[in-house]
Amino acid sequence: MDWLFYNPDQRGEALCLANSLLRVFIAMHSFKAAQQVLSKLPVGTLEHAKIICEKLGSPDWLVNTIREHECLTLYLESRVSFMEILFTFLRSTYLLLIHLIYVHFNKLHTNRPVQPSSLTNNNNFMHTTYGPRGLAQRLAIEESKKEYLARLERWRHDTRLDTEVGCELIVCFYLYLCL
């Protein structure tokens, strides 16, 4: 292809050959090779082909070649831009996913209700205390136990819901990557 660029009057033929190579490489999904073909084209090839087109009275094949080349380069540029946007999106989605997992585990380990100390030390207390004061203390312990169990059940429910949402997000993320 380089020999076609030696004579500036053959820029139209060089552009036609470059277009055919670009079509083949794009069809083969070999986009790096297509970029290499574009990098081989001398600067101003398209403008020079347009000048030749004006001098020769606009031959149809050259007009079509110029339009096709513009379309192919636009396609390759838009593909590169799309891949950059997609990479940025995936990176931000991945970071968001990592953040959600961190928040979930942080919530899992730090927000668990703490068992009241009266529940852990009340085994001997229940058998040795008598009278109305002992009954009031026993009722207070039972009430704090009910509150603790209710908070624990709420925490387990919230954790289960957060886990389901996190699992759905992870599955959606991996499905998006696979498609």
> 26 near 75, Cβ under 8 Å?
yes
> 49 near 65, Cβ under 8 Å?
yes
Token digits of residue 63: 């007009």
Token digits of residue 157: 């429910």
Look at residues 107, 125, 108 and name the one whose alpha carbon lies nearest to residue 116: 125
Token digits of residue 130: 């008598």
Token digits of residue 119: 């529940």
Token digits of residue 78: 């838009």
What is the residue-level pLDDT of the chain in tens, covering all 179 positions?
Answer: 666 667 767 777 888 889 999 999 999 999 999 999 888 888 877 887 787 777 777 778 888 888 899 999 999 999 888 888 877 877 777 777 777 777 777 777 778 888 887 766 655 455 555 556 688 888 888 899 999 999 999 989 988 888 888 788 778 877 877 76
> 99 near 107, Cβ under 8 Å?
no
Look at residues 117, 125, 110, 115 and name the one whose alpha carbon lies nearest to residue 158: 110
Query: Residue 178: its pLDDT value, please?
Result: 74
> 178 near 109, Cβ under 8 Å?
no
b/e map 101-128, b = 16+ CB within 10 Å:
eeebeeeeeeeeeeeeeeeeebeeeeee
Query: Residue 21: its pLDDT value, please?
Result: 92
Token digits of residue 178: 């696979």
Look at residues 172, 175, 179 and name the one whose alpha carbon lies nearest to residue 97: 172
- Predicted TM-score of the model (pTM): 0.54
Residues for the chain: how many in total? 179
Domain ranges, ordered by start, for the chain: 2-87, 111-178
